């Protein structure tokens, strides 16, 4: 605060000393007025000369893995409220066209200092709307964005090229509630405001087998760079909650993501064919993986060849009774490499760490480093799985098998596990250099034993003893911690 005050006093002093200051202020006023008259409504625009810093935004300093990833700006010169566009926060009035009109209007400020749309306290019902570049969507304390219960307010869009069809149904898919494509420097944040997808309607359609198209995500950002999503609560997503796809330089931090534990496929955060991603300090309860790294589905993903790489997941905690704390795959056909998972805490879950592949996937998973993991009452703490028989269409190639190499897992404690690790590779595929050290699986019954097929690697200081395939001394030289 003191530094901002000193900067402001210095700026005012410069204005008082400079003869051109009145001309500058006059020019600014004329510019704003002229911008207002370029559209029919006269919206109230607040111009902040020193830049509109996001209040309470956590700095992306050296303690954040996002410090070197997000290189955009969080300052916006033009700040407006959804109320300026006639928005009504009563939880009943549809604000779909209001949000769309607001973002379209504020798009004009993208190259003039950027724009920030504030959503104040209230319940703001809306269908899907798109974001723009050099833009911040800011939810103030007590602000709740509610997903519309009218499917017509979630338009149908083309399937992702790396999937070839909707993930659940053939053809297109419902757009996400908050969407963006080909953007740069976009921020979704606030003072712990809430985005509630009201997903029960969509879950019922899925359970009743009456879903016509693949469900939409709560937030999906595509083909974009310099994306920051922080300090919000996400509730009840229809499908995967936060889905960056074909993006680079993405930071997702300080989120609370909640869905009923039986809500189908409500993954927390799914970086998909992305590079340079930081996910940290998030709490997640969902009906699927807390975090799942993906890169395309079978032959479509192989053809696109857009890998996920340089991804950091740390200080994430939560529970999922059906899936895993961190999953790699199962859609991984474009390749996944250089993933770091650190300080993960998972409880009452089906699996802790899971690598999911299958015949037909092709692709590769390489250089995965996992450390400092705590699990409680997790059924299978470490699992490599196959055989989902899940393919987009008849075009998949059964000879396309994945290549898995360089999986390092260390400093793991699992309490009250039900089963020993299950590591199922794929026949005629390479699952090698699986390295584990300091892994303690406590509370297993005396008959619990590792189950390993088509894998090889090296282990050290393991409780209980691992399977023979992981006692290969020839692999120890290729383990970074050996």
The neighbouring-strand residues paired with 383 are 354, 422
Cis omega (within 30 of 0) on the bond before 464?
A: yes
Contact 203, 157 (CB under 8 A): no
Angle CA 396–394–220, to nearest 5: 70
Contact 451, 467 (CB under 8 A): yes
Is 196 marked active-site?
Answer: no
Question: What is the three-class DSSP state of 112?
Answer: coil
Report how far Cα 141 is from the mean position of its chain's Cα atoms. 22
Distance, in Å, from the CA atom of 376 to the CA atom of 441, rounded to the nearest integer, reads: 10
Distance, in Å, from the CA atom of 196 to the CA atom of 402, rounded to the nearest integer, reads: 37
Instruction: Please provide residue 439's backbone torsions phi and psi, each rounded to the nearest 5 degrees.
Output: -115, 120
Would you tell me the crossing angle of helices 21-36 and 2-17 to the nearest 10 degrees?
Answer: 110
**Beta strands 135-139 and 143-147, pairing class:** unpaired
The neighbouring-strand residues paired with 318 are 284, 346
Instruction: Please provide residue 263's backbone torsions phi and psi, each rounded to the nearest 5 degrees.
Output: -75, 125
Q: Write the DSSP assignment of 260-306 as a string of letters.
A: -TTSTT--SB--BS-EEEEEEEEEEE-SS-SEEEB---HHHHHHH--
Contact 310, 344 (CB under 8 A): no
Question: What is the three-class DSSP state of 237?
Answer: coil
As to burial, measured by CB atoms within 10 angstroms (0-12 exposed, 13-18 middle, 19+ buried), residue 303 is middle
Distance, in Å, from the CA atom of 300 to the CA atom of 293, rounded to the nearest integer, reads: 17
Quick one: residue 112, left, alpha or beta (phi over 0 = left, psi -120 to 50 = alpha)? Answer: alpha
Distance, in Å, from the CA atom of 276 to the CA atom of 268, rounded to the nearest integer, reads: 18
Q: Which one from 254, 267, 281, 288 is the annotated catalytic residue?
A: 288
How far, CA to CA in Å, does 232 sit from each of 139, 165, 184?
A: 8, 31, 20
Instruction: Please provide residue 436's backbone torsions phi and psi, each rounded to the nearest 5 degrees.
Output: -135, 140
Residues with catalytic function: 288
């Amino acid at each position: 605060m003191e530094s901002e005050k000193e900067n402001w006093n210095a700026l005012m002093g410069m204005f008082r000393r400079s003869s051109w200051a009145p001309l500058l202020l006059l020019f600014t006023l004329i510019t704003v007025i002229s911008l207002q008259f370029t559209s029919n409504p006269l919206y109230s625009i607040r111009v902040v000369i020193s830049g509109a810093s996001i209040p309470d935004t956590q700095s992306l300093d050296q303690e954040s893995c996002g410090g070197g990833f997000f290189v955009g700006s969080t300052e916006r010169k033009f700040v407006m409220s959804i109320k300026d566009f006639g928005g009504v926060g009563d939880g009943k009035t549809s604000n779909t066209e209001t949000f769309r009109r607001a973002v379209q209007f504020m798009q004009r400020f993208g190259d003039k200092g950027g724009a920030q749309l504030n959503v104040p306290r209230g319940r703001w019902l809306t269908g899907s709307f798109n974001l723009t570049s050099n833009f911040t969507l800011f939810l103030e304390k007590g602000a709740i964005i509610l997903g519309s219960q009218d499917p017509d307010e979630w338009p149908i869009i083309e399937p992702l090229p790396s999937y070839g069809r909707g993930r659940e149904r053939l053809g297109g898919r419902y757009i996400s509630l908050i969407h963006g494509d080909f953007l740069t420097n976009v921020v979704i944040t606030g003072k712990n405001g809430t985005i509630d997808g009201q997903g029960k309607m969509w879950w019922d359609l899925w359970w009743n087998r009456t879903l016509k198209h693949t469900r939409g995500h709560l937030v999906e950002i595509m083909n974009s760079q310099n994306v920051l999503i922080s300090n919000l609560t996400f509730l009840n997503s229809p499908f995967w909650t936060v889905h960056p796809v074909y993006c680079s330089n993405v930071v997702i931090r300080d989120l609370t993501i909640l869905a009923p534990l039986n809500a189908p496929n409500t993954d927390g955060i799914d970086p998909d064919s992305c590079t340079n991603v930081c996910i940290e300090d998030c709490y997640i309860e969902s009906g699927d993986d807390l975090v799942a790294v993906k890169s395309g589905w079978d032959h479509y993903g192989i053809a696109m060849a857009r890998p996920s790489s340089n991804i950091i997941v740390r200080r994430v905690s939560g529970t999922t009774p059906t899936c895993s704390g961190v999953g790699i795959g199962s859609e991984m056909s474009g390749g996944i490499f250089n993933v770091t998972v650190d300080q993960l805490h998972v409880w009452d879950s089906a699996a802790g760490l899971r690598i999911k592949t299958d015949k037909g996937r092709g692709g590769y998973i390489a250089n995965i480093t996992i450390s400092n993991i705590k699990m409680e009452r997790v059924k299978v703490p470490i699992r490599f799985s196959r055989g989902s028989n899940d393919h987009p269409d008849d075009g998949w190639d059964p000879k396309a098998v994945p290549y898995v190499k360089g999986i390092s897992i260390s400093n793991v404690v699992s309490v009250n596990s039900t089963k020993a690790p299950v590591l199922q590779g794929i026949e005629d595929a390479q699952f090698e250099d699986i390295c584990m050290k300091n892994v303690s699986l406590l509370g297993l019954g005396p008959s619990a034993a590792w189950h390993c097929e088509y894998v090889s690697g090296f282990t050290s200081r393991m409780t209980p003893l691992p399977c023979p395939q992981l006692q290969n001394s020839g692999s120890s030289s290729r383990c970074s911690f050996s």
